[in-house]
Chains A and B, each alone.
Chain A
Amino acid sequence: MIVANRKPLEEILEMIRPYKKILLLGCNECVTVCAAGGQREVGVLASELRLSRAKDGNEIEIREHTLERQCDYEYIDQIRPFVGDYEIVLSMACGAGVQYVAETCRSKLVVPAVDTTFLGVTMEQGVWSERCQGCGNCILDKTGGICPIARCAKSLLNGPCGGSSGGKCEIDKEVDCGWQLIIDRLQELGQMDRYEEIIPVKDWTTARDGGPRKRMREDLRL
């Protein structure tokens, strides 16, 4: 899933300072699972904003609404009948959702209430961790199913570096060394011979470096 963090209240208050009528828009997908911008977080943020603004004697009207997804036109269309009643849309979706709402509702200012961080997994209740950077050219078959691009602080394809110590990364004793994980896994799988193969320089054209990406399936187009 896409993992996000709710922005600090002060930052959100500053973004909406001039406005009195706000549409607060949650998303029922990834940000719900990672407890950053689902229906529940929409409720919590709305209460915090109302309280804070009331305290300053600057009352605010907030409509709380959570869409099934903010990354699909058909769901965004649901806000068309009433979006015009509000001065600003405060979106709690990931960066993709915020932008798509903005593209759809061109006359409205759409601002983010979360910081979008990474593609990751739920480790345990309340803990999420990065697994993928969407580089567009997956090599997990070569590295025991553990990604060196996402999980090595230097994205080394032929690691580990000299800073790997006791299974941890040189940048932080709380961060696992991605290459230690790869080696442990290759050992478990009896594939240590793979370690000795040099992985060649990566073609980054499929990643962000190649420019904004787009995928098309001709067979699915209408």
Chain B
Amino acid sequence: MTNTGSNIERILDTGGFVVTSECGPPRGADAGVVRKKGELLRGVVDAVNVTDNQTSVVRMSSLSACVILKEMGFDPILQMVCRDRNRIALQSDLLGAAALGINNVLCLSGDHQKFGDHPQAKNVFDIDSIQLIQAVRRMRDEGKFIGGEEIKGKPVLFIGAAANPFADPFEIRAPRLGKKVKAGCEFIQTQCIYNLERFERWMAMVRDRGLHEKCAILAGVTPFKSVGMAKYMKNQVPGMDVPDEMIERMKGVPKEKQTEEGIKICVETIQRLREIPGVRGIHIMAIEWEDRVSEIAKAAGLLPRPQLP
């Protein structure tokens, strides 16, 4: 036990089931937007991810939005991508985050800048997500920077990463998680799960390797707002696996009922995920749809959340 102060770690330590969601910072300097999104998640989640210039679009920095949410009483998860910062800047921000009372970090490679609003930018990728996990772990547990120098005042952070069981090649997806665990990852949030059959196969491979015992798997879900969104996720988002029967199910209801159908599918998915051995929590990614997270969590039987002292 590391005692990072993280709600995720505290709930996992007592054998509990974790619920997280995410808050995408605004494309401007208005702290009110973050607070408004935060209010919608109050009492619904144990910790909240704050994305780091997701899809390579410039937004308020993850660390700033984390601090705003922290002031509101949340336990934020600082997402960090390797696309925009080298090892000097990443380690500096890790120290800053810990100094500001952030308890969790999610280590990611980051989307390529081609998808964002500055495709002409130079990318960094000095280190990758697995090396970032290793770096945070070493900073926290050994008090050493990547360069080997000693840290005065270790950053105490609970260390997470992402896993995409739906990307290719499938056969290395569990070994890849194994590398993240070996690097020091303590919790995983997965890509949005629509293909439960494939997710179950991946979880079986994860259990075969005993990875679920060393690292908590939080299963990711995203509700469809419409059949259009479902099709977009299927055809346009790399590494996303939306089975045809889900598109058909969305198509099968009248347009004005599609939103409710999307939420219904999401709730049913959560209920199935909870039954899978080794799944320790749910990560609800309702992109720019934070007002429905509470409803989804309630319908899926995830409320009330445990009161932590």
Contacts and interface: CB of A to CB of B under 8 A. Distances in A.
Contact of B123 (A154, A172, A177, A200): A154
B265 interface: no
B167 A163 contact: yes
Interface size class of B (residues with CB under 8 A): 35 or more
A162 B190 CA distance: 10
B7 interface: no
B172 interface: yes
A57 interface: no
A154 B87 contact: no
Interface residues of A, number: 28
Contacts of B131: 157-158, 198, 200-201
Given A158-B131, A200-B131, A204-B126, A180 B239 contact: no
Contacts of B115: 170
B168 A167 contact: yes
A186 B66 CA distance: 41
A83 to B, nearest CB: 36
A61 B178 CA distance: 67
Given A198-B130, A198-B179, A198-B182, A155 B167 contact: no
B162 A158 contact: no
A183 interface: yes
Given A157-B131, A183-B172, A198-B183, A162 B123 contact: no
25 contacts: A154-B123, A156-B129, A157-B128, A158-B179, A162-B164, A162-B239, A163-B111, A163-B167, A163-B239, A170-B111, A170-B115, A170-B239, A171-B112, A172-B114, A180-B168, A180-B169, A196-B182, A198-B182, A200-B131, A200-B134, A201-B87, A201-B127, A201-B131, A201-B146, A204-B126
B239 A154 contact: no
A160 B128 CA distance: 10
B210 interface: no
A171 B114 contact: yes
B175 A196 contact: yes
Q: Which of B87, B182, B239 has the most CB of A within 10 A?
A: B239
Q: Which of B82, B87, B127, B172 has the most CB of A within 10 A?
A: B172
Q: Which of B83, B114, B134, B238 has the most CB of A within 10 A?
A: B238
Interface string B115-146: 10000000101111111001100000000001
